[in-house]
């Protein structure tokens, strides 16, 4: 178990739980809480940061919903190991399994942009985009429905050089066009990506958007994309109702 030090800004407009999320995220991303190690208990975090148990529990739930930590019954909350880029399945095509699943649904897909704009990137996104902590970037939060049934809740994080590109993409920001296509047209074509999948409990906000109970597990997908030259340009978190969108993986052994 790792001891933390930090303080909550009582004058800030940022909610206390989010400040704790940001602090723990930075400790996880920097390795101060090593992968596989147990985080301080709820009681220890309450004492360390002067917060209520409900606030601490909410912060830990957010970290769990983002796939950064895992709660193990009767043992505590542990930092997740970040898979190496060469681990897991290899999908030898630009489309990921979400796009495959949606394209095979033969149902009406609509996209609602819930919020967007410049932001300070969270620590895990800075780490995956290979930029310094607290770097400014762009956040795009969307909800996708299939035949009017909420199916996917996603958050994309982009580095600072893409802020003007996305801010000028009216069709993307109004839910009428693909972010990937807009980035490709700006010269950020996909050279490769790493995607991880975990079952997690959603936060109340995500559960409400997906019209499910907070106790209903969803699939959390985290993806990092890079150009053919190796420049990391997109990180997204997606929470998927697998009862609505089955994830599909095509296996082609002809090139092996």
Cα separation, 148 vs 32, whole angstroms? 43
Angle, helices 42-49/16-30, rounded to nearest 10 degrees: 110
Quote the distance between the C-alpha of residue 73 and its chain's center.
24
Average pLDDT over residues 126-146: 94
All CATH 3.40.1410.10 domain ranges of the chain, comma separated, are 97-240
Q: What is the C-alpha to C-alpha distance for residues 117 and 140, in angstroms, rounded to an integer?
A: 7
> What is the maximum alpha-carbon separation in the chain?
61
**Given this model, what pLDDT does residue 254 score?**
62
Mention the CATH class of domain 97-240.
alpha beta
CA angle at 25 for the pair 27 and 94, rounded to the nearest 5°: 120
3-state secondary structure of 129: helix
Q: N- to C-terminal Cα distance for the chain?
A: 43
- Pick the more confident residue, 256 or 199: 199
For CATH 1.10.10.10, list the domain ranges present in the chain.
16-79
Inter-CA distances, 203 with 25, 58, 66, 94, Å: 16, 8, 9, 30
With a pLDDT cut of 70, the percent of the chain lying above it is 83
**What is the reported pLDDT for 124?**
92
Both tokens of 195, joined, read 């995607």
Q: Give the architecture-level CATH label for domain 16-79.
A: Orthogonal Bundle (1.10)
Count how many Cα atoms sit within 13 Å of the Cα of residue 111 in the half-sphere of its side chain: 17
pLDDT at 85: 46
Model's pTM, two decimal places?
Answer: 0.78
Per-residue pLDDT at 147: 86
């Amino acid at each position: 178990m790792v001891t933390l030090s930090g303080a909550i800004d009582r004058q800030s407009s940022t909610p206390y739980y989010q400040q704790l999320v940001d602090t723990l995220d930075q400790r996880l991303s920097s390795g101060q809480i090593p992968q596989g190690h147990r985080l301080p208990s709820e009681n220890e975090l309450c004492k360390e940061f002067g917060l209520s148990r409900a606030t601490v529990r909410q912060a830990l739930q957010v970290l769990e919903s983002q796939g950064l930590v895992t709660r193990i019954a009767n043992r505590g909350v542990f930092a997740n190991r970040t898979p190496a880029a060469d681990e897991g399945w290899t999908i030898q095509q630009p489309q990921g399994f979400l796009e495959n699943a949606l394209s095979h649904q033969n149902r009406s897909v609509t996209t609602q942009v819930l919020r967007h704009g410049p932001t300070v990137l969270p620590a895990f996104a800075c780490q995956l985009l290979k930029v310094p902590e607290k770097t400014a970037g762009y956040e795009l939060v969307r909800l996708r429905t299939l035949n009017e049934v909420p199916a996917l809740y996603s958050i994309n994080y982009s580095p600072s050089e893409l802020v003007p590109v996305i801010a000028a993409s009216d069709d993307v920001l109004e839910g009428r066009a693909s972010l990937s296509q807009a980035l490709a047209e700006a010269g950020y074509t996909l050279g490769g990506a790493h995607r991880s999948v975990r079952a997690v409990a959603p936060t109340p906000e995500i559960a409400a958007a997906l019209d499910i109970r907070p106790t209903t597990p969803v699939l959390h997908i985290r993806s990092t994309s890079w150009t053919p030259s190796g420049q990391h340009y997109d990180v997204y978190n997606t929470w998927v109702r697998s009862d609505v969108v089955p994830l599909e993986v095509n296996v082609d052994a002809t090139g092996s």
